[in-house]
Chain A
Amino acid sequence: MAAEKPKIEIKGVRDGLLITVGDRGDWPAAQDALLETILARSEFFRGARLALDVGPRPLKAAPLGRLRDRLADLGVTLWAVLSESPKTQETARTLGLEIHLARPRPGRVVRPVDTRPRGEEALLVHRTLRSGMRVEFAGHVVVLGNVHAGAEVVAAGDIIVWGHLRGVAHAGAQGNAAAVVCALDLSPTQLRIAEYIATAPPRQGPPVPEMAAVRDGQVVAEPWTPKLK
């Protein structure tokens, strides 16, 4: 359907080429239009480093991985995927792709989170984060799974891990020292709250749910108990 065909814009940026796929049309149509553009000028694109702006489309790992492989077949290296969709951003990160060009895109200012009233924005990560994975969010982050050693969670707000926390967690990353980090097993490689940095002592005995916070200029972890009294 010609009417549904998204517009493909190509421009040169410092790190290679940036292709912006217009918002019209679904993903298969967008991918076809993109590949068509590249095939039509395959000699020009061979060896290119490509950043792709997919707009608000939420993309899963399988289609994005396939596109990357198709592009690789054409001699094009996909190194970044830009999107407003958190789903697409997460997918791109798990595939090891960048989600920003070197400089932040204009018009996308990350809102600082300095107070925590009800209804604050949070990112739910319903999976285990393995070594090499990184989640960064300008709000709170909840991980339903483990954070393994070698993985990183960075949040402007609080971090809650329903599982082992063995990687690096940075809560209050934009300077909020009132942020907290909670985990069922709080054994991080390193814990940061705002500008305070701590490492966890070796655990004695079975893990209990704990919460870490800054008290008198130090990161302190305490067993987490619901405040019933």
Chain B
Amino acid sequence: MSWLAFTIPTITYTGKVKEISLGPPERAVKVGNAGCYPFHLFEGEMGNPPRIAMEVYDVTPEDWPPAAREPFADVLSDPVAWAKKCVDVYGAEMVCLQLVSTDPNGLNRPAGEAAATARRVADALTVPLLVWGSGDVEKDAEVLRQVCEACEGKHLVVGPVQDKNYKKIGAPAIGYRHTVIASTPIDVNLAKQLNILLGNLGVPDELLVMDPTVGGLGYGLEYTYSVMERMRMAALTQQDDRLQFPLVCNLAKEVWKVKEVRLDDPKLGDPGKRGILMEAITAVLLALAGADVLIMRHPEAVRLVRGYLAEMMGVAA
């Protein structure tokens, strides 16, 4: 019996994800540049591996389960110290400042205060900083505009920029040279349309990344997963130029808010490990679907996913 040695049937890619530099040019972190499906290294180049940004909150989180609070217990009320701990102790490659205090349905703190916090964190950091608003269309327009202004020269990555506030945030982002995160609700066509609108507004391609909107594990992850696979397919095999942008997934806040990270039930094992795995598994599935930036919380989940990514990229020790 004889046959030729088996070779994997490969796919011909006709497009590529753009490579975007995040942060100040002298210490930029490059994301994107994929020329094949995620980790399909036998038939293409993945460009940059998915990067992890560790998140920091602008106000002490009151409702986090103990496992999520514990690693940051000494810095929860100080976003600058928290950000530094992420970098110095946990080796964060990037930091994401979550401006939850500005939420009009919550503390509704003024935009100026948030902008000042962003500036202080940016000043203290040597790694790229993402700044994430509350998601409220009107408030974010004001908050992120002021953040852009206060952080001139810091080359932030700001979002979520939505179809209802893209002009108000896009314009100052262009003016002060920050990258924008175009955010749409789990929909390929809306994502493409917002990218076109931002382009028409004058946002250059090198200042644009996308947020597909993340559903956590058990809470809509499958929708995000498939929409990301479809976006990647369009970018790589259908030459859809307006979808060839890196994908940023703000996942930790979705994972850690669900009841399953809090339940105390022997059948569900150790609550801390459960939360860490729910975060890490969500991150892994999003990376498999095409994530370029994973915004994560727990240092142990970060460590696990970092090791996982290195192994998938073939650079593991």
Q: Do A and B bind each other?
A: no
B interface residues, Cβ below 8 angstroms from A: none
Residues of chain A at the chain B interface (Cβ within 8 Å)? none
